[in-house]
Structure 1
Amino acid sequence: MPRRRPAREWWSPSRAARRRLSPCSPSPSPRTGSSGSSPSTPTSSAPPRRPSRSGPGPPRSSRSSPAPATCSRWPTIRRPARTGRSPAVIAPGSTMKVVTAAALLESGLTPDTPLACPKNTDAGGRLVPNDFPDARLGYTFKDDFAQSCNTAFIEAGRTRLSAGSLPAIAKEVFGLGQVWRTGLSNFDTKIPAETNAEQIAMAYIGQGRIQTNALAMASVSATVQSGVFRQPILVPGLPQSKAARRLDGTVLGQLQSMMRRAVQSGTAAEALGGIPGAAGKTGTAEVSGRTANSWFTGYRGNLAVAAEVEGAGHGSDAAAPAVGKLLQLGNNG
């Protein structure tokens, strides 16, 4: 049995403390809403022991249709208790397919585009398989995303994207690769502009030399939910990075629908399928000589969460159930 990294305790400030510290305005009433807000983005690099509430949410009476929090720039603060360390820096595995999918949708693919999922594929001389042993040649792009087909993503990336497409959209739309001034020591995401065919291919599935952390991947889900990148804040009053552009409304809607499908009938269905409105993506990050790391990023309403558990295997085994507990509680838990 592989030895799992111990779970860490996490804390968040009280609602009163958030109001005192945050430069944001209070959230509007459920009747007025807020059209351009981003969900808050709690994160952890291991399953949290105690789920906690994030951001001022709507009253319990409107729980079925929460209004996005205006104070979206102030996410729940989650830092390791007693350590002060920033989240682990590690390859994100297939959670990066959210970003790759956005690039492929912009290239002209649609969720219903036929896109075969072969048993394995060549990535610059490296034979890459899937997590399942069979070929699924009748798949569409939305099937490939929901079932996390590595081979389809690599082959589509090779034929439709340039070497710089992934780092470009990651930075321009999702803010990944920018310098984030969060207020705590942190490692900014690195998505190198590769020239090697193998590294280019592996980046499409979140492997290779990509390095990120759970805070960044929670922000990816927050951007998909709202359509706008807003850099997470851990200490208020610091300058925030901004994204150069947004996804087209059609592409954004398609990406949202694919993330919902991954939860409803894909790799995250067992862990989150019963949670209304949940959307996300599992990830399994291979590590040479060790058991893979478990990842999940997702959102529900105005709450976005990501988790990574080292040495815990498939994303659906550990990270997705941990995130599911938080999403089920939502901002009113």
Structure 2
Amino acid sequence: MTHKNDFAFFKESINLGQYAAAQGYELDSRKSTRSSLVMRHNNGDKIIISRKADTWIYFSVRDNQDNGTIVDFIQRRTGKTLPEIAEHLAGWESHGQTLSHYNVPDVKEQVYDRQRILKAFQRMKPIITHPYLTDERKIPSQVLVNERFRGKIFQDYYGNVVFPHQDGQGICGLELKNHDKGVFMRGSEKALWLGAIEPSDTTLVLAESPIDALSHYTLFKPVNTAYAAVSGGMRDKQFEFLVSVIAKMPLLEQIVLAVDNDAGGNSIAERIEEFIGNKFTKRVIRHVPQEIGADWNQVLKMAL
């Protein structure tokens, strides 16, 4: 049975991950979780797919305007009219059962569970060194125990590096990293990972990831400088917490956006620049790697 003009049905019933795979997107299983799929296209696009209630939704990391349901996904990429999209999706829905070779999993709606996160965090221990960081990511042990970062990086029971995220009410998310892992623990809500902040700090460096923040510090070792990481694209709640962080830095003069030299980094930087420009009079500058597509950890590795 087809549902030729039933957009609500299409938005719920068609696995957007499988549809994206058919359009050339490949699953990044290392960064995907049971509640979100990370998929990349060879044209440079990177999308995050999840579900809100029963509806499949997505957003593009490189373009803040590119988000929504499967209808928006198709419209942005093909320019089809709504009647054309309805006809296309009716055909997909009627033949979708034959497309199981697109091996993309189902996802469940993300449920934030602060109590679960706090309970898990209580069992974690701060690290002074870790082979994933020192050997694979080339971050020196002395940086991990530097006063800026000591007590800000943890290890879980399974040996994963853990970067705790805060949202103004305490720990709200746990970002897990290892050679085969790059996800948030189930129940997490992404906010900001923070290094230590001192009253004398005049600069705040916002990096795309905690590892990029540690790499940037290793490379430049700036004084009177605090570090934070957004861990991907900025959400509204992250901006709210960023305001409170800035408000607690009385001598803050400038904010440095240490983002990747790619479309995703540009998108993050543009959003932060616009937001801060509307809220503060602080100087905002970008500090990106010279090589196209590089992040600050790659710069660190090349510098060794």
Is the TM-score greater than 0.5?
Answer: no
TM-score by length of 1: 0.26
